[in-house]
Structure 1
């Protein structure tokens, strides 16, 4: 009689950068163990896909097909168990996690035990108690938010082109973004570029649009350095975009914007990209945390005092051994590289070998500012305009997971050389039952 197997259970919380890349590397490195049943890998995430966030602005602007900037987890992680649901509790004392499966009610929770836990839940938008923000604002972290914004912006052009009331037109054509980091600047620049291109089909003068960036600090894109940040702000202003530094959003009730400099106006669009915070499940767990709710880990990406718990990315405080700072920055570049090191260290643990610390010098930053426009600071080399835009695309294409997705993105870009982007608003997608309900009432 064959002895009963007790496989090592690896549970990965989150299917984003860290979660997917960790699982992808583990299933390759542990192929034989998985085949023999010595190891199981379970990935838990609310979505069935991983979103490559640097391409969200291009998807919102219509330069990329939305389905091409996401990677289906079940197709990529063929040797892993993918469970769609919401993690509600991490109980490390009993080595189990609780999650609510997709489609189940809040009382139908399940528990999954683990031997090795990877915490890769990432971050959520950090909002402030500003009147009207929760009801009128929207973030820019998911593909759903990106596509909603695309449809919303184009719909506002529809509204402006269909109304003669100056107040209605001004409100529809005013777009406010709060937070001048990568997400905010790239989203603003790409959507403004798209809207400006679309104005010709709506009979709208682009000068009638008002695009505004509101930033609490005295600079934009701090990741690319002061000089390139100033150039970015100047480039946006030359396009007619207002960049308000050292300014706060005070209120947004009923879409009436009130700023700390005293200016007030109505705006139909408010996008909030002013920072992120650790996932609430991490903050409420019994794992070792810092004052920001992130898991405290060593350079080997193992939680302090918990040799069976790993963490990386936005929800982890990772020491920076490159000497550039005390801790690594919460960006995609570090997340992808940390995931590979994390997976290798798990394999080392299983093989009884020593772990290797994570050390990676920051290569630099690239940002797209619309079609053929960009800014970059890579290895100290500063570029702007077309060369920076090309570098932005080349770098992120190289980081896009799977050959299939790389080819699809390349195909989208190639077609865009010969055909103008579509400007159709599918705002009705937000109300798919409206037509059916109307038929039932008639």
Structure 2
């Protein structure tokens, strides 16, 4: 039996989302083969291109390798190639290097900038619609400011330090926000005054951020004005020159940097498909997202490429929520066709809109009634981005996103204002790591040595240790079993002493130390009863814990898996606190463990060699060998 072939063209939000859904729902169907084709071997997080262009993060922070995204999806083949045409009658996707027959195809090639035929935009302007665009713009900004710092002519210097963004949609305002954040740092780097750098927004409409509620848009506008951004409204640009732009009013603005974000259209490569198109060259689709005129050919259109009017004259918006939604619905309808069930008409679910204005400020409107601004809006944007990684089941890139956005950002350009991203030399934590490890080792050895002599191992494991037949845990249900026997009574006495010595550094000075909890909370008592229902289990646990603490202490001392080891100590301390076996005077164990989780084993510790080796091995086992391109025509 021939396999059912599904081809997805484009690894943007719609393509990745749709492919993930198809792969999950069809994983038990061995007769289905899915092929994902994109000209790049990675997905670009398009909504964060401004962060690369503005120098906040490096390009790799928003590039997600397709092999890593689909590493465990055995029914997905990834191909790095450029689609040139679709043979609709014979149902074949044609690329530069091969041909891919299909039963169903999902076209999600995305969009590209629309300059509306404005003279000079292509030659002299900068767009922000691809990784190449972002890197080119980033380098231009850095080089232009550097050159301006050495320019003696005042007029030319002012023009070089004037940055103009055309368009006040989400992309434009987010780019302006990056320029505002970058202004002080790039000026300092080039020995300039930040006041010499001018940022302007030019908008053809009488208002800005027209996809937002006017309440939120006005908040954003006031913030931009406060930050010194000049907003020029109702002023279309009619020409872009190498060193100036011209407005419809005849006014000229001298500048060497015009960033064009005024419009978006469908990917121009789709013109070769010769399908019915509408405004901005988007391909027309029906309510099931099937290409108009080819409903019987299994051709679906999604993302920025699709033109489907959800209401009269109102097509699906070209935003991430619509891309994910159309990708999901198209995948569902393909599955419905395969299974012979009813297809579902597309219905957009837009939960809100948000725009970041730099790393620390933003505005958002959620569910048409919740208005956020400032840091709360940025936090919400991070939550939305993290949810995307959860939705596509990529824990690897969720972790990478957190590291890039919160811990590896320079110049304090994150919502935590640099508190989480200050680089530090973990060498200075080595003495603390060794001291903390020795503390755990001494406490563990107390449990092993008991009343014996430390320098005579033959006296260990005897009276007073946790290796006798006396239960050391001060839990009532365990002690009740020993009542009435003298030997058991002696054991109980030893137990009480051992419990109070469990973390017993000398308390000779001052008053008797206070326990964190003098008795267990009821809920925790039920947990402990489940784990240690009788003496036999308790005796096993106390021996196991003694040995485990020794190993834990040695791992910390020698810097092996220090993040994990210190995390375990936090959990153990919390357990001992709740068990009534820990003093307030030693509560410093917890903050010290948190401090040592900052890579303390990488300096004078085994983690310097072990962690990179483990990461390489795990990466190769989980993802295989990462390549520059994937797949080929069969």
Fold equivalence (TM over 0.5): yes
Bigger Rg, which one: 2
1:317 equivalent among 307, 317, 322: 307
Q: Kindly provide the CA deviation profile for residues 320-341 of structure 1, in whole angstroms up to 9, marking residues without a partner as x.
A: 2xx6984321210111122122
Distance 1:290 1:167, change over 3 A: closer
User: What is the TM-score of this pair, normalised by structure 1?
Assistant: 0.86
Q: 1:16 Cα deviation (Å)?
A: 0.8
Greater share of helix: 2
What is the CA–CA distance in structure 2 between the aligned matches of 1:285 and 1:412, rounded to whole Å?
Answer: 39
Matching of residues 401-416 of structure 1 within 5 Å: 401=392, 402-415=394-407, 416=409
Distance 1:74 1:28, change over 3 A: same
Matching of residues 224-303 of structure 1 within 5 Å: 224-303=212-291
Q: Is the 8 A contact 1:23 1:77 kept in 2?
A: no
Distance 1:414 1:281, change over 3 A: closer
Task: Tell me which residue corresponds to 2:589.
Answer: none
Q: Kindly provide the CA deviation profile for residues 221-241 of structure 1, in whole angstroms up to 9, marking residues without a partner as x.
A: 111122222222222122111
User: What is the TM-score of this pair, normalised by structure 2?
Assistant: 0.61
What is the CA–CA distance in structure 1 between the aligned matches of 2:36 and 2:175, rounded to whole Å?
Answer: 30
What is the CA–CA distance in structure 1 between the aligned matches of 2:374 and 2:65, rounded to whole Å?
Answer: 33
What is the CA–CA distance in structure 1 between the aligned matches of 2:86 and 2:249, rounded to whole Å?
Answer: 44
- Farther-moved stretch of structure 1 (263-272 vs 361-370): 263-272
Q: Kindly provide the CA deviation profile for residues 156-203 of structure 1, in whole angstroms up to 9, marking residues without a partner as x.
A: 221122232213321220111111111111011112211223322322
- Farther-moved stretch of structure 1 (354-363 vs 116-125): 354-363
Q: 1:64 Cα deviation (Å)?
A: 3.0
Distance 1:190 1:283, change over 3 A: same
What is the CA–CA distance in structure 1 between the aligned matches of 2:283 and 2:404, rounded to whole Å?
Answer: 39
Task: Tell me which residue corresponds to 1:113.
Answer: 101
Matching of residues 333-352 of structure 1 within 5 Å: 333-352=321-340
Q: Is the 8 A contact 1:137 1:271 kept in 2?
A: yes
Task: Tell me which residue corresponds to 2:90.
Answer: 94
Task: Tell me which residue corresponds to 1:389.
Answer: 378
> What SS class does the counterpart of residue 32 from structure 1 fall into?
coil
What is the CA–CA distance in structure 1 between the aligned matches of 2:138 and 2:282, rounded to whole Å?
Answer: 33
Matching of residues 2-401 of structure 1 within 5 Å: 5-33=1-29, 36=30, 38-78=31-71, 79=74, 80-101=76-97, 110-305=98-293, 306-307=295-296, 308-320=298-310, 326-379=314-367, 380-400=369-389, 401=392
Distance 1:219 1:127, change over 3 A: same
Q: Kindly provide the CA deviation profile for residues 74-117 of structure 1, in whole angstroms up to 9, marking residues without a partner as x.
A: 2223432222222222221221222214xxxxxxxx33221111
Distance 1:198 1:22, change over 3 A: same
Q: Kindly provide the CA deviation profile for residues 251-302 of structure 1, in whole angstroms up to 9, marking residues without a partner as x.
A: 2222222122332232121111111111223234243433543222233222
- Farther-moved stretch of structure 1 (8-17 vs 154-163): 154-163
Q: 1:24 Cα deviation (Å)?
A: 1.6
Q: 1:378 Cα deviation (Å)?
A: 0.8
What is the CA–CA distance in structure 1 between the aligned matches of 2:388 and 2:93, rounded to whole Å?
Answer: 31
Q: Is the 8 A contact 1:92 1:286 kept in 2?
A: no
What is the CA–CA distance in structure 1 between the aligned matches of 2:374 and 2:366, rounded to whole Å?
Answer: 14
Q: 1:151 Cα deviation (Å)?
A: 2.4
What is the CA–CA distance in structure 2 between the aligned matches of 1:225 and 1:413, rounded to whole Å?
Answer: 28
Task: Tell me which residue corresponds to 2:577.
Answer: none
Aligned-residue RMSD, C-alpha: 2.1
Q: Kindly provide the CA deviation profile for residues 133-168 of structure 1, in whole angstroms up to 9, marking residues without a partner as x.
A: 211111111122222222222222211222322133
Greater share of strand: 1
- Farther-moved stretch of structure 1 (130-139 vs 301-310): 301-310
> What SS class does the counterpart of residue 224 from structure 1 fall into?
coil
What is the CA–CA distance in structure 2 between the aligned matches of 1:270 and 1:170, rounded to whole Å?
Answer: 14
What is the CA–CA distance in structure 1 between the aligned matches of 2:122 and 2:422, rounded to whole Å?
Answer: 35
